[in-house]
Amino acid sequence: MTKSALQIERASYQPKLPDALKGLAKAVEGAPTQSVADQEEIKKMFPNTYGLPIIKFESTTEKVEIPAFNVGVILSGGQAPGGHNVICGIFDGIKKLNKDCHLYGFLMGPSGLIDHKYIELTADVIDDYRNTGGFDMIGSGRTKLEKKDQFDSGHEILKKLNIKAVVIIGGDDSNTNACVLAEYYKAIGTGIQVIGCPKTIDGDLKNEMIETSFGFDTATKVYSEVIGNIERDCNSARKYWHFIKLMGRSASHIALECALQVQPNICIISEEVEKKNMSLNDIVTYIAGIVAKRAEQGKNYGTVLIPEGLIEFVPAVKRLIAELNDFLANNAEEFSHIKKSHQVEYIASKLSKENAETYSSLPSGVARQLALDRDPHGNVQVSQIETEKLLSDMVATKLAQWKEEGKYNGKFSSLHHFFGYEGRCAAPSNFDADYCYSLGVAASALIVSGKTGYMASVRNTIAPAEKWIAGGVPITMMLNMEKRNGEMKPVIKKALVELDGAPFKKFASQREKWAEETDYVYPGPIQYFGPSAVCDQTTKTLLLEQSK
């Protein structure tokens, strides 16, 4: 493998660990837990893994002989910076307990477990990937682990490789699957443990016990760097409005974090759009209003941040998507025979009157995109919907109308960007490198403590790493019932932006000033070497949320 100078230097970076994980750790159990909602139903579905206590690790000097054991690991879903360090943490964690332990990586996501595709992760492999971005060590995939025959096929290979525990590194959907698998393996008495790890750049896998998902820190730093560069270009040329869509699926955490970092003229937050029951036209009027105001000051330029899931949060579109999801789930066979050119018309003819009207009012490109295949977890593939173009076209039309009415006399020229894939495989920031490595070591400690159905957790993350609190949280604690592919299912509750939370409040208190003045901030690239104040800073979201 040919390596860049940064990769070579970075390979020797020793991630920081919480004190409790530096030597030997013992698991201290807290009080029993409950799911966030639908307790009775979830308890019934998870009789073996419901109500487990929270685990906190404390360092111990008590040395116990641990017989060698084997572990399997899976990377699941979208890439997020730091995934390799979780695997390195698991490897170092189990080798510290017994040097004869082995680690196996299942290839290309959960399908590797089902299809028995794996490699052994030896020290040579691991050392090549320390502190690197990407998931290319073993690849990732979005196969949904949900059926008994998949679990049984997985069990066969786990038994054959004498694997004691499997670690699933994934987002809310993948950790939901980890929970279901843990319950199944416990129920049939396999003795195989399943541990989850909180991954996703989207930042929407968080709750009282999981402060942040890994990858959010690095990805938002990469996006903020490039948005900052665009802002500087914008403020130099002074002739374009830049419409920038940002990844993040449903939640607007990425857009909000970037807004806090770069202070754009406009940032739309989907959760606010929903709360205020805004229509697409209301959003367009809001943006056009700011464009017009800046034009009065001779500023025919600016930056607009748009979360990729926005369209799903416009209440009328949300109602439409809910009906569309049910319709597509129940009529997949019939729909597959409809010619592409007739699909929009066909769908409109099957929907309720209100939703058919909303559907027909959407530009045909967006209407077609909403009818596209869902991902294996039933999600609309929002990264493929070009909201940034849709909005800038609608703003241009509105401004042209205002011009005719004599309400606006500026120039409007727009450029479009979509930042998402650019940030998912970046070399992890110090925060993500440390956090991920700690999660991996915590996962190995959960395994040796005999736990299953737990997500590795590291808390107190705005303190220096040695003061971080490592442990495990029962995944059933995060579950609630939601409709997926037309059926009610137990799933991890997605964390959306809270409008009464500190990050949104901070943004809301500043946005009018940022809209009219030009007060851009240029964060620059992630720094891997240098003063801690520059290299170890975490996200503004985490700082604001945790500095209560």
Name which of 215 and 523 has its Cβ closer to ligand FBP.
Answer: 215
If one asks whether residue 77 binds ligand FBP (CB under 6 A), the answer comes out as yes
Which amino acid is located at 501 in the chain?
G
Q: What span, in angstroms and rounded, lies between the C-alpha atoms of 80 and 135?
A: 8
Q: Which long-range contacts (CB under 8 A, 24 or more apart) does 282-286 make?
A: 283/310, 283/314, 283/391, 284/391, 284/394, 284/395, 284/398, 285/398
Of 92, 172, 173, 202, which is the active-site residue?
202
Name which of 102 and 424 has its Cβ closer to ligand FBP.
Answer: 424
The DSSP secondary-structure symbol of 214 reads B
Position among 15, 134, 171, 228 found at the interface with ligand FBP (CB under 6 A): 171
The piece of 100-108, 130-138, 242-250, 285-293 that touches ligand FBP (CB under 6 A) is 242-250
Residue ranges of alpha helices (H) inside 110-171 are: 110-114, 123-128, 148-160
Distance of CA 379 to the CA centre of its chain: 13
The answer to whether residue 373 is catalytic is no
Which amino acid is located at 514 in the chain?
W
Q: What span, in angstroms and rounded, lies between the C-alpha atoms of 310 and 324?
A: 17
If one asks whether residue 383 binds ligand FBP (CB under 6 A), the answer comes out as yes
If one asks whether residue 388 binds ligand FBP (CB under 6 A), the answer comes out as no
Position among 201, 230, 317, 458 found at the interface with ligand FBP (CB under 6 A): 201
Tokens of 372: 């596209």
CB of 306 to ligand FBP, least distance (A): 13
The piece of 181-189, 246-254, 274-282, 479-487 that touches ligand FBP (CB under 6 A) is 246-254
Position among 130, 155, 249, 494 found at the interface with ligand FBP (CB under 6 A): 249
Q: Which residue has the tokens 């209100």?
A: 354
If one asks whether residue 82 binds ligand FBP (CB under 6 A), the answer comes out as no
Name which of 398 and 424 has its Cβ closer to ligand FBP.
Answer: 424
Name which of 110 and 410 has its Cβ closer to ligand FBP.
Answer: 110
Altogether, the residues listed in the chain come to a count of 548
Position among 316, 320, 382, 395 found at the interface with ligand FBP (CB under 6 A): 382
Output phi, psi for 27, to 5 deg: -85, 125
If one asks whether residue 200 binds ligand FBP (CB under 6 A), the answer comes out as yes
Q: Which residues contact 309 (CB under 8 A, 6 or more apart)?
A: 248, 249, 250, 251, 252, 270, 382
In contact, 419 and 305? CB cutoff 8 Å: no
In contact, 168 and 194? CB cutoff 8 Å: yes
If one asks whether residue 229 binds ligand FBP (CB under 6 A), the answer comes out as no
Output phi, psi for 214, to 5 deg: -75, 150
Name which of 201 and 269 has its Cβ closer to ligand FBP.
Answer: 201
If one asks whether residue 247 binds ligand FBP (CB under 6 A), the answer comes out as yes
Return the residues of window 17-56 that contact ligand FBP according to CB under 6 A.
none
Residue ranges of alpha helices (H) inside 18-122 are: 19-22, 39-45, 83-97, 110-114
Q: How many chain residues bind ligand FBP (CB under 6 A)?
A: 14
CB of 429 to ligand FBP, least distance (A): 17
Position among 72, 78, 410, 474 found at the interface with ligand FBP (CB under 6 A): 78
In contact, 538 and 217? CB cutoff 8 Å: yes
If one asks whether residue 83 binds ligand FBP (CB under 6 A), the answer comes out as no
Tokens of 125: 């492999």
H or E segment to which residue 165 belongs: strand 163-170
Name which of 155 and 249 has its Cβ closer to ligand FBP.
Answer: 249
Name which of 27 and 475 has its Cβ closer to ligand FBP.
Answer: 475
CB of 425 to ligand FBP, least distance (A): 11
Binding site for ligand FBP (CB under 6 A): 77-78, 80, 171, 200-202, 247-249, 308, 382-383, 424
Q: Would you please indicate which residues are annotated as catalytic (active-site) residues?
A: 202
